[in-house]
Amino acid sequence: MSNKPTLTTSAGAPVPSNKTTKTAGKRGPALLEDYQLIEKLAHQNRERIPERAVHAKGWGLQGKFTVTHDISQYTCADLFSQVGKQTEVLSRWSTVAGESGAADIERDVRGFSLKFYTEQGNWDLVGNNTPVFFVRDAFKFPDFIRTQKRHPKTNLRSPEAMFDFWAAQPESVHQVTILMSDRGIPKTPMHMNGYGSHTFSMWNKNGERFWVKFHFKTHQGHEHYTNEEAEHRIGKTREAYQEDLFSAIENGDYPKWTMFIQVMPEEEAGKQEYNPFDVTKVWPHDDYPLIEVGELEMNKNPENYFQMVENAAYSPSNVVPGIGFSPDKMLQARVWSYADAHRYRLGTHYEALPANAAKNSKINHYHKDGSMRFFTNDFDNPDAYYEPNQHNGPVANESVAEPPLKIDGDAARYDQVEEAIDYVQPRALYNLFSDEQKQRLYNNYAAAMGPCSDAVKERWYAVLEKVHPDYAKGVRLANEKLDSDVNAAPITDETPVIDN
Ligand code: NDP
């Protein structure tokens, strides 16, 4: 007799056969009573859930965060309460535009999401590998994403739509500059920084509020693919990141990042020429230096990808006492819309799934039934299912409330941003690039803009001109060179291949 475990039905009963359908006679037809056949096929039909509308292709690891520096003067958050304190973390990195089967190393912004399972509930930092974003107002977000996804008729990605949109939103040029720079195709998620991007807040035990930006700097160094290297690698594998991350962990090469914060006292907001709550802007390091906080180490491949990565539901709404939001309009919208996306994609009680359930704090809420209600929360007393109640059910704790936010001004539906301010920080970034980096930037644009109409190209050059005349000139020349090269030399069997 085999010592292998016995196969069972999903209800736990032993199964006599997993090979053949129960038929009437030797040749069939199949009997409807062969429930295990129906169960098997029905399960297969339900193996997919809706993929994320954005950030569909992703890779995740488990690990830990260790506090190395005391920041209790800025926050009372328990996870930062002591040097040496460790918190379990689940990461998910992703591309933005590609579907779940897309190649990993496309030129795109990368999602950089961390779920900290703290002793005061889960804190999700749902950021990117860039410190800024394309648009500062959520009203523009659905349109922006549509330009990144497929055209309704051609069913192809549309550079024309992308640059048409960006040219009408000069605030985008900061993020587009990063996207077209060397950092637009990280070699692996291990070789890129992570940023919370938005401005968040922290408050300390005295009730003082600070505005905060989060940064995670890679220990592995910045490494990137050129377009040609990426094409070559994609030709060999579409799953480069999954392969590299999985084998790094199996080989014991655990990737690490140092976490920093930038801190702005509450009353200083509004004194800068830029809006510190505008997600298309950074806070210059000279004005707000990086303050070291701790170390992130990712050291475990999840046992089941679907359970821990596909089911992972990150939302900026998951904050813990001592960490809060800011008036950033994009953040305010994401707080609502990310959680809503998970309710749609995963189901009502998505936070009860293993990837999302708080591990180190007790969950006590009065939400009731709905899909995935596979847990109890009757607080040892089934009569305590509403609140207030006389049965010692959980009650709110006012001591964790954040300090009141002072608000002034008229409620208005317009943006008062001076356009000129949108060019200042992309110019600072452009000025950081060496001549070689600038040339690669221009070439990357040419590769991306090749299919665009002349009208859209001209509109984009006009935006770049306002960042720096050399920037516009360089991209124009690279586009013109590509056009003449394409006309002069069609790709042949002799076109050289770059070896990686
Ligand atoms: P600093 O000289 O102090 O910092 C420059 C920053 O640029 C560093 O954080 C560096 O990251 C980052 N960087 C270098 N190359 C790229 C690239 N291709 N794409 C994205 N980031 C890159 O300058 P400032 O703080 O005054 O900022 C100047 C400009 O740098 C900003 O306008 C912004 O565009 C960019 N930047 C600023 C950041 C900030 O938080 N202040 C963060 C990231 C970018 P690293 O140190 O990891 O090499």
- How far does the centroid of ligand 1 lie from the alpha carbon of residue 156, in Å? 33
pLDDT digits (tens, 9 = 90+) for 291-333: 999 999 999 999 999 999 999 999 999 999 999 999 999 999 9
**Is there a single domain that holds both residue 281 and residue 145?**
yes
Q: Check if 55 is active-site.
A: yes
Specify the number of domains making up the chain.
2
Q: Which atom of ligand 1 is nearest to the CA of 437?
A: 18
SS3 77: coil
**Is there a single domain that holds both residue 341 and residue 449?**
no
The answer to whether the Cα torsion of 5, 8, 14, 16 is positive or negative is negative
The position carrying tokens 């020349």 is: 477
Is 481 near ligand 1, meaning CB less than 6 Å away?
Answer: no
Question: What's the confidence (pLDDT) of residue 328?
Answer: 96
**Is there a single domain that holds both residue 201 and residue 349?**
yes
How wide is the angle at C-alpha 178 spanned by C-alphas 51 and 275, nearest 5°? 95
Which residue, of 357, 374, 398, is where some domain finishes? 357
Question: What's the confidence (pLDDT) of residue 489?
Answer: 56
pTM of whole model > 0.75? yes
pLDDT digits (tens, 9 = 90+) for 96-111: 999 999 999 999 999 9
Q: Tell me if 304 is assigned to some domain.
A: yes
**Is there a single domain that holds both residue 350 and residue 425?**
no
**Is there a single domain that holds both residue 425 and residue 325?**
no
Residue 30: count other Cβ atoms within 10 Å of its Cβ: 13
Q: Which atom of ligand 1 is nearest to the CA of 130?
A: 20
Q: Tell me if 180 is assigned to some domain.
A: no
Beta-strand relationship, 121-128 and 291-300: unpaired
SS3 125: strand
pLDDT digits (tens, 9 = 90+) for 384-426: 999 999 999 999 999 999 999 888 788 877 777 788 999 999 9
Q: Tell me if 98 is assigned to some domain.
A: yes
d(CA 61, CA 93) in angstroms, rounded, equals 9
Q: Tell me if 117 is assigned to some domain.
A: yes
- How far does the centroid of ligand 1 lie from the alpha carbon of residue 363, in Å? 40
Q: Tell me if 72 is assigned to some domain.
A: yes
Query: CATH code at 120?
Result: 2.40.180.10
**Is there a single domain that holds both residue 453 and residue 347?**
no
When comparing pLDDT for 380 and 83, which is higher? 83
Q: Is the pLDDT of residue 218 over 70?
A: yes
d(CA 214, CA 245) in angstroms, rounded, equals 23
Is 428 near ligand 1, meaning CB less than 6 Å away?
Answer: yes
Q: Tell me if 215 is assigned to some domain.
A: yes
Is 282 near ligand 1, meaning CB less than 6 Å away?
Answer: yes
The position carrying tokens 């056949």 is: 37
pLDDT digits (tens, 9 = 90+) for 478-497: 999 988 877 665 544 554 44
Question: What's the confidence (pLDDT) of residue 5?
Answer: 95
**Is there a single domain that holds both residue 345 and residue 467?**
no
Which residue, of 327, 357, 387, is where some domain finishes? 357
User: Mean pLDDT, to the nearest integer, of 362-377?
Assistant: 88
Please pick, among 3, 45, 55, 304, the residue that the annotation labels catalytic: 55
d(CA 377, CA 368) in angstroms, rounded, equals 9
Contact 136, 280 (CB under 8 A): yes
**Is there a single domain that holds both residue 342 and residue 424?**
no
Question: What's the confidence (pLDDT) of residue 483?
Answer: 81
**Is there a single domain that holds both residue 353 and residue 425?**
no
Q: Tell me if 457 is assigned to some domain.
A: yes
Q: Name, in order, each residue with C-beta under 8 angstroms of 192's C-beta and a sequence gap of 6 or more.
A: 110, 112, 129, 183, 186, 218, 222
d(CA 290, CA 460) in angstroms, rounded, equals 33
**Is there a single domain that holds both residue 304 and residue 232?**
yes
Q: Which residues pair with 256 in a beta bridge?
A: 297
**Is there a single domain that holds both residue 242 and residue 326?**
yes
d(CA 367, CA 348) in angstroms, rounded, equals 10
Q: Check if 285 is active-site.
A: no
Q: Quick one: CA torsion of 33, 35, 38, 40, rounded to 10 degrees?
A: -150
**Full residue range of the structural domain in which residue 484 is found:** 420-488
Report the candidate in 241, 142, 219, 223 with the shortest Cα–Cα distance to residue 184.
223
Contact 381, 393 (CB under 8 A): yes
d(CA 239, CA 271) in angstroms, rounded, equals 46
Nearest CA, atom 8, ligand 1: 285
The position carrying tokens 């298309």 is: 280
**Is there a single domain that holds both residue 228 and residue 150?**
yes
Q: Tell me if 270 is assigned to some domain.
A: yes
Per-residue DSSP letter, 268:
G
d(CA 67, CA 293) in angstroms, rounded, equals 6
